[in-house]
Amino acid sequence: MIRGRSALWSAVICVLAVFVATCGGAPAEEAKWRFYFGYLHSHTSYSDGALTPEEAYAYARDVAGLDFLGITEHGYYMVENPHHWDSLVEIAKRFTEPGRFVAFRGTEWTHGAGHISVIEAPEPCSRDVQISFDDLVAWMEGKNGIASFNHPGRNEQGNWDDFKYSLGGNRTIRLLEVGSGPYPRNTFYEASYIRALDRGWQVGAINSQDNHRADWGTAADTRTGVVARALTREDLTEALRAMRTYSTEDRNVRVRFTGNGKWMGEVLPLGQVDFEIDITDPDPGDAVEKVEVRSNRGAVLMTFRGSGDEGGPDRPFRRTFPLVPRQGYSWYYLRIEQRDGDVVVTSPIWVKSRSELMMVDLRFDVPFAKKGAKGYLRGDIVNLGADPMHGVIVEFAATAGEQRMPIGAVKTDVGPGATVPVSLEWACPVSGDVTVSATVIDPSIPAYTENVYSVPVRILPETLPKIVVDEGHNNRSSGFAGKFLDVLACAGYEGVLNQGRITADILGRASVLIVANPEPGISLTPTTFDESELAVIREFVAGGGALVLAGSSDASDPSRSVDQLNAILTSVGSSMRFSDDEVQQEKGSAVSSTVTCILTPEGEKVLGALSLPVRMTQACSIADDRFGDLAGRGGVLILVVGGEGTKSADTNGKGPCHLYASGPVVCASEDVGKGRVVAIGAPVYSVYDFRPDLGNEEFMLKLVRWLQSR
């Protein structure tokens, strides 16, 4: 009887055991991973924050419910006050309790190149002692610290030479703050993350609050999610070094991102990768809105949308997809958006060729390149490893449709951890969509040809209409025509800047020449047009070219003059002249030299209507060759006049000018021989003028098109 009963109990126990084992949810393999939330960058009054480390750790642990917190005081405070450093180290040790809380401590190196935190090193670092990035990298060697790039704003700082790869640096700097700052929405640094990854840094994504007040963990819900085996210092540091992390604006979302079964933070060999995404969040409102898979140069490779409550507590968001990397060095991370707008960015999974060499920034350096236009194929070769590479060969080729065109090869040496630029001159023999590729041949594995990089390039047809903008005479708006040139290129024109004298060579093939008024004062170039230049311009117009002259006002300054432009007008035989005056507009009780202008009915007829008025600043009016009202002059088309409340005034008292009492003529056109001359009161094509709330861009395009259409 007893025997039968114990057998029954054994069976029950076995069934229960199996049940429990399978009910743990996932297989035993997965059950060992746990998710912890906290972050690594904050301050107390030991530097420029609030309260003490004890209060900070206790607050983070008990009030904010963080699993870990890093206090990273500004380095120079710690170096000046070693007693505070020792105290911080001791407090962090005291507050670390396996299973309950981990207290990290370190210093923030606050250099002009960018801020970097180093935790777990035995000493503090400071921008006053480690005065350069190289100094810091050398100092970190052997110190067993873990470092992160802090709030790397691309528009705010040099970002360590735009994230130029550093072999030594990559060993210790394992993380990058994609989100930083005590705000609920703080994922500001994705662009920098992408740049760092492109240039070879292997860094994981984290988020920090960078607290300077007594609000560690409660300033916002932002956290760094860490996937580790247990809540101990050793397990968390292992996870941080392995980059099993993600930056999250949500306080408790659990993200698994694997490729071929390997976690985010790992490097896979080149070949197909089967990716898996698994997202859950304990809070019902935090379902997944969408997930983007991002890769090299920030390209979004695919987008998944969540439906219903996918990603919430009851229904995990799960997707799997295969990818075959096209480049020799690729990285992939997830950008997740929850229903409430919270953004999560994971560490990447890398897929790498067998070589330690990779290429970044492959490009053809001629924007809007035309068929046959000479330029350079460029890229940087990065040696991610510690072995010097002598005789690296980069083979360039281009593919257009079915046609494959080898271009040539360059050979170079790339030292350990170095970034070396390579370039090869090239003129594309075809137009259309072309793919340029570069195969990097590693000298240690010369038969390996799979380390390939490619970039699409659009080549424009050979002969595009050429527009020349003169910047060789200290012209007004020199240096600010870049946006105008880009707009021209987009519209299918070839915009060219002339930096020297105006010659027949420069104007050969040009259909439009734009010359703004030379400015007085300090200049590196001549401010006058000599006889031969006037002759070239004269012949250009006589041969059918279109000349656009842009003036400037006298601005109460007797040194200002429009004589040079009038000399050109006289020389080509135009009956228009620029007035030595200023077009002004009444704005309340004041008078402004920034005026709004409108197309006349004739202007609308030839150019087409504009959706917004044109703005001119410091413009002069256009008169006839006797400085009379241009409107009365036959053979001249008045295109644009000043808007309501405008007039012209002789502010420097010099003249000669025509004083328009209202609606001054600010743009007119005259056919001269086979050519056409347009006079505008001011250059309206500088980068200051091409704004979405102004009609200037539209006006210039329409003007150029009209001049081209003859």
Partner 1 sequence: MRASGAPCQGNQLKRVIVGVISVTLLVMLLAGFSSVSAGSKVTITFWHGMGSALGKTLDELVAEFQKQNPDIIVKAEYQGSYGALNQKIMAALAAKKPPTMAQAYGNWVAEYVKSGAVKPVEDFFAGPGGLSKDEIEDFWPELRVGCTFNGRMYTLPFNKSVAIYIYNLTALKEAGLEPPKTWEELLAASKAMTVVKDGKVTRYGMVLRPNVDYFANLLFTNGGRYLDPSGKKAAFNGPEGVEALQFMVDMLHKYKVAYYIPGYADADFGAGKTCGYFATSASYSYTDKAVGGKFEWGIGPIPYKKGPAAPVAGTDLVIFASATPEEQQAAWKFMKWLTSASQTAYWAINTGYIPVRRSALYLRQMKEWMAANPRNAASLNALKFAVTDPNIAEWQDIREIISQAVEEAFLAKATPKEALDKAAEKVNALLAK
End-to-end CA distance of the chain: 112
Q: Which stretch binds partner 1 (CB under 8 A): 153-161, 272-280, 461-469, 572-580?
A: 153-161
Could you give the CA distance from residue 432 to residue 677 in angstroms, rounded to a whole number? 35
Give the footprint of partner 1 on residues 351-380 (CB under 8 A). 365, 376
Could you give the CA distance from residue 152 to residue 140 in angstroms, rounded to a whole number? 20
Residue 363 phi, psi (nearest 5): -165, 160
- Contact between 158 and partner 1 by CB under 8 A: the answer reads yes
CB-wise, 541 or 649, nearer to partner 1?
A: 649
State the number of CA atoms in the 13 A half-sphere of 45 facing the CB.
6
CB-wise, 158 or 372, nearer to partner 1?
A: 158
CA dihedral 237, 238, 240, 241 (to 10 degrees): 110
DSSP 347: P
DSSP 40: S
DSSP 197: H
Give the three-state DSSP class for 607: helix
Residue 211: CB minimum distance to partner 1, A: 16
CB-wise, 86 or 604, nearer to partner 1?
A: 86
Give the footprint of partner 1 on residues 590-649 (CB under 8 A). 617
Among 35, 50, 54, 157, the residue binding partner 1 under the rule CB under 8 A is: 157
Residue 53: CB minimum distance to partner 1, A: 17
A 10 A CB-CB count for 407 gives 17
Which residues lie across from 350 on neighbouring strands? Answer: 267, 331
Residue 201: CB minimum distance to partner 1, A: 20
Could you give the CA distance from residue 595 to residue 645 in angstroms, rounded to a whole number? 9
Residue 252: CB minimum distance to partner 1, A: 35
Could you give the CA distance from residue 356 to residue 362 in angstroms, rounded to a whole number? 17
Among 113, 191, 427, 542, the residue binding partner 1 under the rule CB under 8 A is: 113
- Is the Cβ–Cβ distance between 430 and 181 less than 8 Å? no
Residue 542 phi, psi (nearest 5): -60, -30
- Contact between 688 and partner 1 by CB under 8 A: the answer reads yes
Q: DSSP letters of 474-536?
A: -BTTTT--HHHHHHHHHTT-EEEEE-S---HHHHTTEEEEEEEPBP-SS-SS-SS--HHHHHH
The tokens 């079915």 sit on which residue?
402
DSSP 130: S
Site map 114..143 versus partner 1, x via CB under 8 A: --------------x--xx-----------
- Is the Cβ–Cβ distance between 200 and 360 less than 8 Å? yes
Site map 439..478 versus partner 1, x via CB under 8 A: --------------------------------x--x---x
Q: Which stretch binds partner 1 (CB under 8 A): 111-119, 162-170, 333-341, 436-444?
A: 111-119
- Contact between 687 and partner 1 by CB under 8 A: the answer reads yes
Site map 47..86 versus partner 1, x via CB under 8 A: xx---------------------------xx--xx-----
- Contact between 524 and partner 1 by CB under 8 A: the answer reads yes
Residue 80: CB minimum distance to partner 1, A: 5
Residue 129: CB minimum distance to partner 1, A: 8
- Contact between 188 and partner 1 by CB under 8 A: the answer reads no
Residue 480: CB minimum distance to partner 1, A: 6
- Contact between 559 and partner 1 by CB under 8 A: the answer reads no
At CA 442, angle to CA 440 and CA 447, rounded to 5?
A: 95
State the number of CA atoms in the 13 A half-sphere of 590 facing the CB.
4
CB-wise, 591 or 687, nearer to partner 1?
A: 687
CB-wise, 156 or 450, nearer to partner 1?
A: 156
Could you give the CA distance from residue 700 to residue 485 in angstroms, rounded to a whole number? 11
Residue 699: CB minimum distance to partner 1, A: 19
- Contact between 162 and partner 1 by CB under 8 A: the answer reads no
Q: Is the peptide bond before 656 cis (omega within 30 degrees of 0)?
A: yes
Residue 72: CB minimum distance to partner 1, A: 16
Site map 484..523 versus partner 1, x via CB under 8 A: --------------------------------------x-
SS3 content of the chain, % helix, strand, coil (to 5): 20, 35, 40
Site map 391..430 versus partner 1, x via CB under 8 A: --------------------------------x-------
Residues that bind partner 1 (CB under 8 A): 47-48, 76-77, 80-81, 111-113, 128, 131-132, 156-158, 365, 376, 423, 471, 474, 478-480, 522, 524, 617, 687-688
